[in-house]
Structure 1
Amino acid sequence: MNEDTQTIYDVLQIGYGPVSQVMALTLARQGHSVCVFELWAKRFPLPRAVCIDHEMYRMLSAIGLRDQLPTVSHPAPQYRWFNAEWKELLHIDWSAESISGGSEVNFIHQPTLEGMFDATVGCYREVELNLGWEVIEIRQTADYAEVLAREVSTGNTRSVRAKYLVGVDGANSLARKTIGSTQEDLGFEADWLVIDILPNEGVELDIPPAAQYCNPARPTTIVPAGIRDGRYYRRWEFMRLPNESRESLETEEMAWQLLEPWVKPDQAVIQRAKVYNFRSLIAHNWRDGRILLAGDAAHVMPPFMGQGMCAGLRDDWNLAWKLDLVLRGQASDSLLDTYQTERRPHAKDVIELSMYLGKVICIPDPAKAAERDKAFFDGTVAPPPPFPSLVDGILYGAASGGIRPSAGLLSPHGTIRYQNRTGRFDDLVGLGFVLVLRGTDEAQAVSATNLSFLEKLNTKVVHLASDDTATGSFVDLDGKFTSYMDQHGLCAMLVRPDFYLYGGVSSKAQIADLVQNLAADLKRHEVLATADIE
């Protein structure tokens, strides 16, 4: 056995799916050493996830993938839900302009997306990839996490240590089992046959662009499955009915039988036909000491909101800025406790939103489907819950408890002019903490003590203006920031590195308190920028 105990990596990652790839890329960009172990020597060649939302599109753009994303994705069409008679029950406008800019959702071909991630990770010397290695044991001490891994092809074993370990190892996570974290079952379970097809050259299918066909005779999903080499893939999902076995569905004959109303064998090639079990599970504990969970290791959700991979990428984005501070010695590792505090409620809310939609379609009983249809048509159906925000953690707290209005909301993003350059806000202003002010009056309200703290935290301070000639001023070219601040009654908002609002205030007299509260919240975790804050 090779014991690599001399080298202590910053982070060990188990698994190398898209969530792990983005975690490795994000940490490497911050200058941290990453060691990855993945059981499979080659990437899985077939798609699973088919879309990313606007928030994750913004995040991926921010870590250097902006120019590549349009080559592997395309904006979503409108997402419509129909009953058995093709009468519309529900309409979700995924094509609408989002708060982050661009459409609410973009469709992707997962293997192509992963290829882009992998190629980018390969540009960083900070990342060591070990493909074809099975992690067989995980342990930790007060000083490090350690794995014992076995190379599948040779049987050789290797022991490796790191300051932290992130289990991104899927629904059957060894990392989750190692820390003894059980899962909360939120109560949704259904088997669905997933069929991906590639239409033949020149074939135009007469199908809805993106739809749920809520027919009790066979609940069906029809969505895009991304683009590769200029060709658009399509996906169908068919619910397994109570009288059917999984095995009876997983045949080519059955696949073509189910596809028959929409596509014929001479029009396309089946890429994959497999039954998947859709569940709603969330781990009780996401961290134990130096071991953390992310992605499917932490949460599994029904696919009806297209949020499975997005939720994992959101884990990355929340955890990466906190790990960065801890690994640099600029914060205590108690900061990592806020990861679960913030992400678990958010992920659970997304699961419940996905379950709401799943319960609309997963009705094989005609009488119950008729009741559902009537409730939608007469307006008595309970509306879907809103997409969640953060509700706890490093957020601007109210004196009476809880958080203040606007704290935890996702911030806007748009095209600006800044320092005589035009581009996206993140590209021109930069990442990290950002204090966005309504104008010069608000800028003058930021005290010297506030500025000292913000400078130590490397916070950018910018304000809206009619031109960008003054220091820190930017022009809101598409009105995203102006309309957002008007909507929420804000004259200042303090944005965290993961694009969520720490908080916002409605008057310039409150700006000092906003900044001082962030300093106090970070001081609890010994963030160095707060060392001199009283």
Structure 2
Amino acid sequence: MNKTTDISGSAEPEYDVAIVGLGPTGATLANLLALDGLKVVIFERDRDVFPLPRAVHFDAECMRVFQTVGIADELLPNLFVGPGMKFVNANGDLLIDWTRPTSVGPLGWCASYKFRQPELERTLRTRLTQNTQVNMRLQHDVFALDERDHSVELRFEDGAHRKILTTTARYVVGCDGARSTVRRFMGTELTDLQSHQRWVVVDALLDRQRPDLGDHSIQYCDPARPITYSRGPANHRRWEIMVMPGDDEADLGTHDWLWRQLRRWITPADAHFERSAIYTFHSVVARGWRFGRLLIAGDAAHQTPPFMGQGMAAGIRDAANLAWKLTSVIRDRLPADLLDTYETERAPHVREFIETAVQLGRVIEAKGNDGAVHTDQHTTATIRKFVTPQPSLGAGFHDGDARRDGDTLSGFIAPQPRLRDGTLLDDVVGHRFTLIVKAEHADAAKVYAESISGAQLIVVTANDNPTREWLTSSNSQAVLVRPDRYVCGLARDAAEIHALIERLRNKQIRESEAESV
């Protein structure tokens, strides 16, 4: 990437943010930025949504982001709530039981949803078309980025009209996948977590009911041929089949080959294939998610094996973390080095999911006679009853890196209770900072909050049992929740409440945070 002096003088960039790539991560980020009133342009080299399924799972935290965007209720009728995953060996013995509750959890949504990616992408795009601040440029391919003093110049090709054009934006975010163009201009390298394996992914549509296939996802840890089964919404089913040494490359992935691998579950009398593809599952994390005015998100920043269903979910978390930070910096509410906390917070969080997926992949791909994992007894025992990781953010704009005794909240996702009238909390507070405070401190907190110009802070009095109980259980009088729903910090008295609020108009990142980025 070249950095040049802005010869245009004081001319304002045409856009606040340019997003390269309109997959789920880019579309979610654009929607969140549009909620904040930013002017956004999105470049996507393809004209239409890819019509076939790729990602098939997201979690409650993602659904909460979609709730913020305003599409959760629209998505819900077409989703299937997943009951979890089981790992079995070649004899059918249970190795790992990863049961997930099918009832609504503490985030206000169920823990696991199965979906069809084309439907999600169309819904996200439709939402974008309703906002006049967003310009979607389909069939437009960005090929050059030049950073200037106050903006980035983007050069791109209009594929439909064969024209070369330019525009400017304050920041550019590459949501352009594993072979990211933006990452290449940043010069960012990837940390290889040493897990690369070829699998054939096949999506089938059942032609008749097959309840015997079950609702749980199953990882068949068979050393002869590891295979994954996953149920989707309606009649959609997916199998992932590991490529083994000795497989005939000419035969691999053909319909004859696929039917041979799947004959224990389905035959042509039961289903027909929607798509199949050969993938190499990678595990990598970028070293450097921001370079000046360029940033990356989603698969451009990290890639994970699919064994936890967290690939797309990680990109949605990126979008949620980055959106409010870009808004805060562009609106001059917080300093530009806030953007450095994007990587310091997200990279350790996503790495824990990737490393766990790699560990589970080793169970699936084990070569023992019974398909059991080759580890010591302690490791095997601890993963037999598997619980979804719930890591905190890495060091950044929260108190988790300097957590005091009894602070079990800072840096973790906040719960979302239903209030007395049945409304979910996020629907009340919107995409902004929220101070949840006990009634005896509410009036003073509101006076403090009103003194902050443009801080986008709402004060919620903990009158409802769930919010009161949450504060009481954390031994706090107030909790400050960020727009991405992660806890920024808690306060135990009036002075600490004032300090929490003051933090939102502080033009310097705290010293402990500056040292961490």
TM over 0.5: yes
CA contact (8 A) 1:407 1:502 kept: yes
Retained in 2: the 8 A contact 1:278–1:302? yes
- Which letter does structure 2 place at the counterpart of 1:18? P
Query: For residue 86 of structure 1, what is the amino acid of its counterpart?
Result: G
* Cα separation, partners in 2 of 1:70 and 1:495, compared to 1, 3 Å: same
Q: Please list the CA deviations of residues 471-518 of structure 1 after superposition, one character each: whole Å capped at 9, or x if unmatched.
A: xxxx24xx4x4554455444432111110111234xx43x52254156
Q: 1:404 to 1:524 in 2, by over 3 A?
A: farther
The sequence identity of aligned pairs, in percent, is: 32
Change (3 A) 1:367 1:398: closer
Shift of residue 249 of structure 1?
2.1
Tell me the distance in 1 between the aligned counterparts of 2:19 and 2:239. Answer: 33
Task: Say whether residues 1:260 and 2:263 are aligned partners.
Answer: yes
Counterpart of 2:485 in structure 1: which amino acid? Answer: F
> Which residue does the alignment assign to 2:424?
424
1:309 Cα deviation after fit: 0.7
Match of 1:468 in 2: none
Match of 1:35 in 2: 41
What is the aligned partner in structure 2 of residue 497 from structure 1? Answer: 483
Tell me the equivalent position of 1:292.
Answer: 295
Residue ranges of structure 1 left out of the alignment (5+ in a row): 466-474, 528-534
Distance (whole Å) between structure 2 residues aligned to residue 398 and residue 346 of structure 1: 13
CA distance in 2, matches of 1:328, 1:385: 37
Q: Distance in 1 between matches of 2:323 and 2:488?
A: 17
From 490, 496, 507, the counterpart of 1:513: 496
Matched residues in 2 for 1:138 and 1:266: separation? 53
Per the TM alignment, residue 391 of structure 1 is displaced from its structure 2 partner at its CA by: 2.8
Give the aligned partner of residue 515 of structure 2.
none
Between the aligned partners of 1:373 and 1:330, the Cα distance in structure 2 is 51
2:3 maps to what in 1?
Answer: none
Greater alpha carbon shift after TM alignment, 332-341 vs 310-319: 332-341
CA positional deviation for 1:406: 2.1
Q: Secondary structure at the match of 2:213?
A: coil
CA distance, structure 1, for counterparts of residue 390 and residue 337 of structure 2: 28
In structure 2, do the counterparts of structure 1 residues 397 and 90 end up closer, same or farther at CA, with 3 Å as the change threshold? Answer: closer
Contact 1:394/1:521 (8 A) holds in 2? no
Note if contact 1:37-1:130 (Cα within 8 Å) is conserved in structure 2: yes
Q: Tell me by how many angstroms 1:245 deviates.
A: 5.2
Q: Which amino acid aligns with 2:439?
A: T
Are 1:447 and 1:512, in contact at CA under 8 Å, matched by a contact in 2? no
The secondary structure found in structure 2 opposite 1:369 is coil
Decide whether aligned partners of structure 1 residues 48 and 214 sit closer, same or farther in structure 2, where only a CA change above 3 A counts: same
Q: Which amino acid aligns with 1:187?
A: Q
CA distance in 1, matches of 2:354, 2:295: 20
Task: Tell me: CA distance 1:15–1:377, structure 2 relative to 1, closer, same or farther (3 Å).
Answer: closer
Shift in alpha-carbon separation, 1:255–1:522, aligned structure 2, 3 A: farther
User: What is residue 195 of structure 2 aligned with on the other side?
Assistant: 188
C-alpha contact 1:333 1:525 (8 A) present in aligned 2: no
| Equivalent position of 1:278 in the other structure | 281
Q: Deviations over 1:279-314 (max 9, x none)?
A: 111110011111110110011111111111111111
Q: Which moved more, 1:491-500 or 1:264-273?
A: 491-500
Q: What residue identity is the alignment partner of 1:151? A: D
Task: Count matched residues.
Answer: 500
Aligned to 2:136: 129
Structure-2 change in CA distance of 1:270 and 1:212 (3 Å): same
Q: 1:205·1:263 contact (CA, 8 Å) conserved in 2? A: no
Q: What residue identity is the alignment partner of 1:282?
A: V
Which of 159, 163, 179 matches 2:170? 163
The equivalent residue for 1:108 is 115
* Contact 2:82–2:215 (8 Å) recurs in 1: no
Task: Output the amino acid matched with 2:431.
Answer: L
Aligned counterpart in structure 1 of residue 95 of structure 2, from 77, 89, 108: 89
1:254 is paired with a residue whose SS is helix
Q: What secondary structure sits across from 2:239 in the alignment? A: strand
Distance 1:90 1:259 in 2: 23
Task: Determine if contact 1:317/1:498 at 8 Å carries over to the other structure.
Answer: yes
How many angstroms does 1:153 deviate by? 4.2
Aligned equivalent of 1:530 = none
**Once structures 1 and 2 are overlaid, which stretch shifts more, 246-255 or 121-130?**
246-255
> C-alpha separation between the residues in 2 aligned to 1:50 and 1:523?
41
Contact 1:502 1:518 in 2 (8 A): no
1: CA distance between counterparts of 2:475 and 2:247? 55
The answer to whether the aligner puts 1:213 opposite 2:220 as a matched pair is yes
- TM-score (norm. length: structure 2): 0.88
TM-score by structure 1 length? Answer: 0.86
Which residue of structure 1 lines up, in the alignment, with residue 514 of structure 2?
none
The alpha carbon displacement at 1:155 in A equals: 2.7
Give the structure 2 partner of residue 58 of structure 1: 64
Which residue is 1:120 aligned to? Answer: 127
Q: 1:246, 1:275 within 8 Å by CA — same for their partners in 2?
A: no
Q: CA deviation at 1:428?
A: 2.4
> Which residue number corresponds to residue 140 of structure 1?
147
Q: Distance in 2 between matches of 1:232 and 1:200?
A: 8
CA distance in 1, matches of 2:422, 2:387: 38
Aligned-partner Cα distance in 2 for 1:460–1:102: 23
Name the counterpart of 2:32.
26
- Partners of 1:447 and 1:286 lie apart in 2 by 36
Secondary structure of 1:366's counterpart equals coil
Amino acid corresponding to residue 286 of structure 2 in structure 1? A
AA at the equivalent of 1:414 = P
Counterpart code for 1:23: L
User: Per-residue deviation at 1:117?
Assistant: 1.1
Q: Which of 366, 369, 388 is the matching residue for 1:366?
A: 369
1:186-213 Cα deviation digits (max 9, x unpaired): 1111111101011014454534531111
Partner of 1:325: 328
Contact conserved, 1:52 with 1:310, CA < 8 A, in 2? yes
CA distance in 2, matches of 1:201, 1:149: 48
Give how far 1:375 is off: 6.7
Specify every segment of 5 or more residues in structure 2 that has no aligned partner in the other structure, as ranges. Answer: 1-7, 511-517
What amino acid is the match of 2:460? V
2:54 is the alignment partner of 1:48: yes
SS at match of 1:44: coil
Structure 1 residues 84, 484: closer, same or farther in 2, change over 3 A?
Answer: farther
Structure 2 vs 1, CA of residues 193 and 350 (structure 1 numbering), >3 Å: closer, same or farther? same
What is the aligned-residue RMSD (CA, Å)? 3.0
Q: Establish whether residue 77 from structure 1 lines up as the match of residue 83 from structure 2.
A: yes
How many angstroms apart in 2 are the aligned matches of 1:397 and 1:152?
47
What are the Cα deviations for residues 14-72 of structure 1, in whole angstroms up to 9, with x where unaligned? 11111111111111222212111111122211111111110110111112113202123
Alpha-carbon distance, 1:177 to partner = 0.6
1:303-343 CA-partner distances (Å, limit 9, x unpaired): 11111111111111111111112222333322212111211
1:460 to 458, 461, 473: 458
Match of 1:471 in 2: none
**What secondary structure is seen at the aligned counterpart in 1 of 2:194?**
strand
Which amino acid in 1 is paired with 2:38?
H
**What is the distance in 2 between the residues matched to 1:384 and 1:283?**
27
RCO greater where, 1 or 2, for CA within 8 Å and sep 6 or more?
A: 2
Q: 1:500 is matched by which residue type in structure 2?
A: Y
Residue 315 of structure 2 aligns to a residue whose secondary structure is: helix
8 Å Cα contact 2:97-2:384 kept in structure 1: no
1:102 Cα deviation from its structure 2 partner: 2.8
SS at match of 2:363: helix
CA contact (8 A) 1:83 1:373 kept: no
